Structure 1
Amino acid sequence: MSLGRAFTVLWGANAASNLADGLAFVSMPLLAASLTDDPRLVAGVATVYALVRLLVALPVGVFVDRTDRRTLLVTANLLRGASVLALALCVHVGAGGLILLYVAIAVIGTLETAADNAAVSIVPSIIRDHDLDRANGRISAAQLVADEFVGPPLGGVLFALAASAPIFAMGGLWAGAGLLALALPMRKTGTSENALPPKGTTTVWQEAVAGTRWLARHRIVGSLALIGAVASVGYMMPFSILVLFAQQRLGVDDAGYGVILAVSALGGLVGSVATPRIRSHLGYRWTIVASLVTGSVSLIALSTTESGALAAVLLAVYILHAVVWGICATSLRQRLVPDELRGRVNAATRVMSLAGLALGSGLGGALALVHIALPMLAGGFVFLLCSVAAVALLRNLNRE
């Protein structure tokens, strides 16, 4: 069933943007490795990207609430396309170096934060509440296909042809996403008592804090953000060392590891399709609880296996849980957060999640020194804790 022309436009823009993200996932580290053999400098690409997204999330949330979101989405994607095309030209002619790549990554990370927040904030204005799960499921499915199945292998093939080829493709895709988003309806921000004060009467920081305070005061949305932050710790503990687990515990080579990741992504596609039906039967509260329990069981079972085939199946179940959780949490925020606060609340939630990912990464590395399977086991118990918290904290969440 169609969700309307406006959603089709937004879905298409997101799909193009996600394909560019998939290309970047492979091509940017490869480009860094072609410029230096220092592993610290190669890893610095991911570090710069993560730090920039964390630092700009809150101020970007303010601007998502201040401006017309369609305009922001169009501008962010067009600027991403232009900046990456400029980088591609420099690479093609042999100009610039690692510093230029770092600058480009910082620009891309900033604009991606703006585009992602604006896109999520637009969805409730073009989709009816009872269709939000389907809409977010379709967006999630497109993201999985682009990021996991199409983008990375295509990026590798293009890079083998020429270092600048995937970067030119990324720029074209982001620019195309911006142009496509021009077909979205233009909407004004809200004007209720939660709206931002007139520009200039407060600082960006004060406005960001106002959104964070709203999040802290709202029982359901605040609880979701807290559970999501803790779950991010549980997620990153095993995934930060998953490649080592695959090599040392499962005994698979690089190709086998790629197959495991591809199979795991299939679980996400199943979750994208199944979530609306599951939620319609169980309601949001018990769908969230069931998804967190599923994540817990899959990770605990993963910690005990030495079979690559079984590990792939368990990771597929785990990714299914993550997609179900993500769709439910996003749909609830879109339903419950006032339009004029959506950008700031999305940003505050994202900051909490990023902090959890950083903590989980450090803990995963430390636990792996004790035993390579310990991060999986610990992650499973973190998700079990999250499921108990969801039962208690979301008890006032009405069945939808």
Structure 2
Amino acid sequence: MTLLVSNRPYRLLFSATAISNLGDGISALAFPWLATLITRDPALIALVAFATRLPWLLLSIPAGVIVDRRDRRMLMVQADVFRLLLTAGVIALIFSIPGFPLDGDPLSYILALCGLAFLLGAAEVVRDNAAQTVLPSLVAERDLEVANGQMWSVEQVMGSFVGPPLAGVLIALAVPAPFALDAVTFGIAAWLVWCIAIPRRAVRPARRIWPEVVEGWSWMRTQPTIFRLAIMLGLINAISTMAVTMLILFSQEIMGLDAVGHGILLTAGAAGGVVGGIVGPKVVARIGAQSSVLLALCLMPLPFLIIAMTASPALVGLALFVEMIAALLWNIVTVSYRQRLIPDALLGRVNALYRFFGWGMMPIGALAGGWIVSLVQPELGRDLALRAPYIVGAVGSGMMLIYGWKKLRL
């Protein structure tokens, strides 16, 4: 708390992150729930998730170059304003739909939703890259673990604890309501970032984008640990996104939850995020970065096994709790490691390359979740088909544990 009280620029960034992630948490439930009101086809629902995450694959590297060239504060402001306008577009799309559930061909509406989701994701790529890149210029190096822990915790509180249940209540009242509040949060976040005083950096002359990317890539290839962490994060995120994409159908059809119930279920993951954000830095200080990452990898297969074998909301909530503790512990260690090691002049590009590998696999995971359910459903039935992504997730996470145990040295 001392850091929040004593450091005004960091406090403003923290507050903007909190508000922006409230909007993200609202979208996390409202977008897929809207998709399920339009269609029950798991492949089409997965397509919306794919469109949301595709920008991380296509735009991470150009975004990193832009972040290193431009004023990072203004990029964050512009991205949030753009997201406000796009969310207004989602509201307009909702009003164009004749009724819910949709009685007719859903494809045109799903494609329109995918287009808006892609543009929102593109703005998120720029905004998140700029936010993570600017943090080391606002806090002392010795405070990075604490700052990252606080930032990850508030992201989880607002994005998973407050946002989803609030979205569930709002969508039960009126389908456009959560998107209206989402737009407001982006406006507030943009204003808070506008108020941050960030130390000026030396202006670099603009060059062609690919030589700058190669410069970041050349540095990254000299750091085998960062490269391995990026590849591992990509596979972990693909597995997680595969499972999360189908969680909304799992909630509706296997656990029988409505929008409010699903939102409350997601708060269990947020609670794990809070615990991970608070306890994580202490765990790292006690057992070290290497052991902390291995502990996170040991925890990751458990949530998938639990969900695959149950229909109990309480047990699924426990699984989400454990998953987020593992994710926060992983993030605290690996993000702080990168921020210390990467030179400031390369930070945006190397972070973008890292996210290209680490986050670029998420759209593939989203599609895989829908495809797995669609492929095995004719043979296994709907119930077992909806459990299949979690079985695959448990096996994949176990393989990541074995790889990390043998290869990672922090």
Q: State if a TM-score over 0.5 links the two structures.
A: yes
Partner of 2:396 in structure 1? 382
Equivalents in 2 of 1:124, 1:327: separation in Å? Answer: 14
Match of 2:132 among 114, 120, 125: 120
Tell me, yes or no, if the aligned pair for 1:215 and 1:221 is still in contact at 8 Å.
yes
Partner of 1:139 in structure 2? 151
TM alignment of 1:312-391, pairs within 5 A = 312-361=317-366, 364=369, 365-366=371-372, 369=376, 375-391=389-405
Tell me, yes or no, if the aligned pair for 1:117 and 1:346 is still in contact at 8 Å.
yes
Tell me, yes or no, if the aligned pair for 2:55 and 2:125 is still in contact at 8 Å.
no
The question of 1:199 aligning with 2:202 is answered: no
* Paired AA for residue 204 in structure 1: I
CA drift at 1:122: 0.9
The question of 1:23 aligning with 2:26 is answered: yes
CA drift at 1:119: 0.5
Tell me, yes or no, if the aligned pair for 1:62 and 1:343 is still in contact at 8 Å.
yes
Task: Report the more deviating stretch, 368-377 or 4-13.
Answer: 368-377
Identical amino acids, percent of aligned pairs = 31
The question of 1:221 aligning with 2:235 is answered: no
Equivalents in 2 of 1:32, 1:269: separation in Å? Answer: 29
Partner of 1:72 in structure 2? 75
The question of 1:270 aligning with 2:270 is answered: no
CA drift at 1:321: 0.7
CA drift at 1:115: 0.8
Equivalents in 1 of 2:359, 2:293: separation in Å? Answer: 20
Tell me, yes or no, if the aligned pair for 1:263 and 1:313 is still in contact at 8 Å.
yes
Match of 1:84 among 78, 83, 87: 87
TM-score (norm 2): 0.80
Partner of 1:173 in structure 2? 185
Partner of 1:2 in structure 2? 2
The alignment's C-alpha RMSD in Å is 3.4
Equivalents in 1 of 2:34, 2:246: separation in Å? Answer: 23
Equivalents in 2 of 1:239, 1:87: separation in Å? Answer: 22
CA drift at 1:261: 3.2
Partner deviation per Cα, 1:30-53 (whole Å, 9 max, x = no partner):
66677x558576665433322234
Please give the secondary structure, in 2, of the residue aligned with 1:254: coil
* Paired AA for residue 106 in structure 1: F
The question of 1:109 aligning with 2:121 is answered: yes
Equivalents in 1 of 2:331, 2:321: separation in Å? Answer: 15
Q: Where does the alignment leave 5 or more consecutive residues of structure 2 unmatched?
A: 98-107
Evaluate the alpha carbon distance shift between residue 262 and residue 90 of structure 1 in structure 2; reply closer, same or farther with a 3 A threshold: closer
Match of 1:54 among 46, 53, 57: 57
CA drift at 1:360: 3.7
